[in-house]
Chains A and B, each alone.
Chain A
């Protein structure tokens, strides 16, 4: 802000006749302007850098699983050394065994660190003695974070057939992501299918039929939908929508993919509307006037001429809406029932990828397998919504150019 102030007040004393915005000084760039310009450029650059960094950091946490290097079976076998061996350890061996950074290791004396390691082994030995009574499980040798178990069904102990199971807090952690992906897809599809006709209809009306005064009312009203916090929409879905839809459809479970999808649809109506309306408004007047001149009604002109011309824009709107719906968290967390069932029925409870991350990330062990799998899911959502944004943007740009050149 202080930069901007220094630009409007030049360092030298003002001349007797202050020219308007110093225009009289011609095209010589002043240092202040140059600085501000570069500053703004740097700010816009940081947005790109931020996106890259987010990708890098989120992806990095998921990398061991992506590359198949994580092994949950190995982690269960724990090393215990007798106290004499700990006494013989060199400092670097001791530090590796404790898994501490150099700085943290140096914070206490060597003797204290040795005592700490012995204590850790003592705790492990105690746990082993207590754990000896635990139920033996044929799956304890399984690497549950291997790709095979992440995406394909497996008959776990206690299950009657091979199943896709997401049970991340369990004796044997089960991380099958398929039920979550299907859950996300189901909810998102319902949302898009619900929002598309409404948003497209509104866009068609606002761009083709509405009078200028009416448009000035309707457009902001629909855009205001985007301003409703998603937690409020979720609340609405949980208490009002679920009950209303249940009385119509008689669901078996009150909270399900359909309820969450409808609420999510309300949230993405403004997204689809905004883009579709922009595309439809960009259709050159000449197209419509031509249609009207050969005797088409206004409805025929809108449906038969404007809509086909703006078709790529509608496609972009749907893709963007899909991306938004997939990434939305709060509504699905509150209204979808959150049961990780693999079923294509819209009236079953479903657990989405984003709701899973939101509900579970708070309490996972930092750097543990559950944590890494959640980051893997996060990377996936990020990638899909990034691609959706990219596609929508690219299609819209091409459409704008085409319509501009043909008008």
Chain B
């Protein structure tokens, strides 16, 4: 046997022995929203300092992927950046006989980005709806330069897409000319390169882009998306981030983890990662 083969064999044996040990009790599997993956990873790191025996595995893929895994029973906790759908609740009841339990774990504002060079500072929700519905097509209509508006959005599989559609467009369709980009980082990049671009995504900054301030109604003052304005819900485009769980698994390790996440230490991590912690009164109704 060549050394190469020996090595492969060794790796294979190692893998085979490692897999059962990963699956033993004390492992939590979290799966779902790509928006929440980084947050969940930080939670896992901090939680591991507290409970070194608990192993936490985190997988992305989208909110819907998390719900699918919850229904298959292949995973303990589903990360979601949107509320669960009717069909998904029914699937869970079919799979384990009970409704999954919803836990709100953080607040997240959706920021509207434009290129740094764009003179427009603020938009009302109404104008934003007009832009993404295709009613407003030129920046001049909203106080900018005379140039066509280039719209960027997320793919339809993303939780942000659905949230934006529901909150800003009132459930109606995006303009046909909205270009789809995969991921907030990609939106930031394309908007930075497109002087007349506009896009939406998590409250994060990228070089070359700027947040717009948003007016809830045309007469109200424009609000900058900050932790403070999202927390007291003056900034109009915000949502909850959720973890959904099978009620049956909540008694054990998963329950401890959920209590920790919604507690002060978990919420401190939420702030560090750049989301907003839950307001004290509204935690876990």
Indicate if A4 sits at the interface (CB-CB under 8 A).
no
In contact, B176 and A359 (Cβ under 8 angstroms): no
Interface residues of B in 243-259 (CB under 8 A from A): none
Do A167 and B179 touch across chains, with their CB atoms under 8 A apart? no
A128 to chain B, nearest CB (A): 10
Q: Which of B88-96, B119-127, B213-221 contacts A (4 or more CB under 8 A)?
A: B88-96
- B177 beta carbon closer than 8 Å to chain A: yes
* Chain A residues, CB < 8 A from B176: 163, 165, 179, 339-341
Do residues A339 and B180 form an inter-chain contact, with CB atoms below 8 A? yes
Contact (Cβ within 8 A) B62 A363? yes
Stretch of A40-48, A168-176, A261-269, A391-399 contacting B (4+ beta carbons < 8 Å): A168-176
B68 close to A351 (CB less than 8 A): no
Interface presence of B271 (CB below 8 A): no
Within 8 A of A (CB), among B48-66: 61-65
> In the complex, which residues of chain A have a beta carbon less than 8 angstroms from the beta carbon of B97?
108, 112-113, 115-116, 119
- Is B113 close to A, CB under 8 A? no
Contact of B62 among A99, A156, A351, A362 (CB under 8 A): A362
Interfacial chain A residues near B61, Cβ < 8 Å = 362
Residues of B within 8 A of A252 (CB): 148, 150
Q: Is A321 an interface residue (CB 8 A)?
A: no
**CA A171 – CA B136 in complex, angstroms?**
22
Contacts of A255 in B (CB 8 A): 179, 190
**A123 B90 Cβ-Cβ under 8 A:** yes
Q: Is the CB of A116 within 8 A of B150?
A: no
Contact residues in B for A99 (Cβ distance below 8 Å): 94
State which of A98, A124, A179 has its C-beta within 8 Å of the C-beta of B94.
A98
Complex contacts, A113 vs chain B, CB 8 Å: 97
Knowing A123-B99, A158-B173, say if A100 contacts B180 (CB, 8 Å). Answer: no
CB of A338 within 8 A of chain B?
yes
Tell me the count of chain A residues lying within 8 A, CB to CB, of chain B.
49
Taking CB atoms, residues of chain B closer than 8 Å to A98 are 94
- Bound: A98/B90 CA distance, A: 9
**A294 contacts B by Cβ under 8 Å:** no
Please tell me if A243 contacts chain B, counting CB pairs below 8 Å: yes
A359, B182: Cβ atoms under 8 Å? yes
CB distance from A177 to the nearest CB of B (A): 14
Q: A339-B179, A360-B156 are in contact. Are A116 and B93 (CB under 8 A)?
A: yes
- Contact check: which of A100, A135, A242, A254 meets B171 at CB < 8 Å? A135
Q: Which residues of B contact A (CB under 8 A)?
A: 61-65, 68, 86-87, 89-90, 93-94, 97-99, 148, 150, 155-157, 161-162, 165, 170-174, 176-182, 190, 193-194
Listed in ascending order, the chain A residues whose CB lies under 8 Å from chain B are 98-100, 104, 108, 112-113, 115-116, 119-120, 123-124, 127, 134-135, 156, 158, 163, 165, 167-171, 174, 179, 242-243, 252-255, 333, 337-341, 349, 351, 359-360, 362-366, 368
The 3 A-B residue pairs whose C-beta atoms are closest, nearest first, are A363-B157, A363-B64, A338-B180
10 A-B contacts, Cβ less than 8 Å apart?
A108-B97, A112-B97, A168-B156, A169-B162, A171-B171, A255-B179, A340-B176, A362-B65, A363-B64, A368-B87
Known: A359-B180, A360-B156, A366-B68. 20 other contacts (CB 8 A): A99-B94, A116-B94, A134-B171, A158-B173, A167-B156, A167-B174, A169-B157, A169-B165, A171-B171, A179-B176, A243-B193, A252-B148, A254-B190, A255-B179, A339-B177, A339-B178, A339-B180, A362-B65, A363-B65, A364-B157
